[in-house]
Amino acid sequence: MNLQNNILYSNIVSNEPIDTIKLEKAVKIISELQSDMKNHTAKGSGPFLAAIYDEKGALVVKTSNSVVNGCCSHYHAEINAIKETEKIYKTYDLSKHNLSLYITAEPCMMCIGAIMWSGIKKVFYGIPSATVEKITGFDEGFKPDWVEEFAKRGITVYGNIVPELGEQALKEYIENGHKVYKPQR
């Protein structure tokens, strides 16, 4: 690993020894998703994107959060991606397809459950929940040590991937006056 990679990967969260090939691919995909964000938020979608790739590395679906424009509190990007993928493969159990999920931010408490039940095998996320909450005011929920729990269930996790791009995308969302949707307390 060269010096540049050491800096790039110094704060990576992972529940397996870091595989630089997997991580480099994730950096590329998540960077693309973060820069695509404004195209989705301009149409009224929420500031989170997800993409599912098959085991050969081909894109299966790319989705955005559609809580506001879809009028549904659980239309997070991950939920939309899993739903569409299960429809494509015509199954509620994706495990035999060995799929990878790439998300612009750490999954919330609801999406952690949804990912677990879907049979997705690998998860790569961008900005961590604590930073999402700090920048936006979204509530990501209370979570167990989910990265370790996923390891016990054979699900690989890599996180905190190019977080500076995620921070920038979320700051733009807030600066442009978009909605931070959550129930009244």
For Zn ion, the binding residues (CB under 5 A) are: 76, 108, 110-111
**Residue nearer to Zn ion on the CB measure, 9 or 85:** 85
> To the nearest whole angstrom, how small is the minimum distance from the Cβ of residue 68 to Zn ion?
14
State yes or no: is 133 an active-site residue: no
Distance CA 125, CA 21 (A): 16
Yes or no: say if 129 and 105 are a contact pair by the CB < 8 Å rule. yes
Based on C-alpha coordinates, what's the Rg of the chain? 16
> To the nearest whole angstrom, how small is the minimum distance from the Cβ of residue 110 to Zn ion?
5
Amino acid residing at 96: K
Yes or no: say if 86 and 118 are a contact pair by the CB < 8 Å rule. yes
Catalytic residue among 16, 24, 55, 78: 78
Residue with tokens 């307390």: 185
**Residue nearer to Zn ion on the CB measure, 68 or 110:** 110
> To the nearest whole angstrom, how small is the minimum distance from the Cβ of residue 84 to Zn ion?
15
Yes or no: say if 46 and 65 are a contact pair by the CB < 8 Å rule. yes
Three-state DSSP at 181 gives: coil
Residue positions annotated with a catalytic role: 78
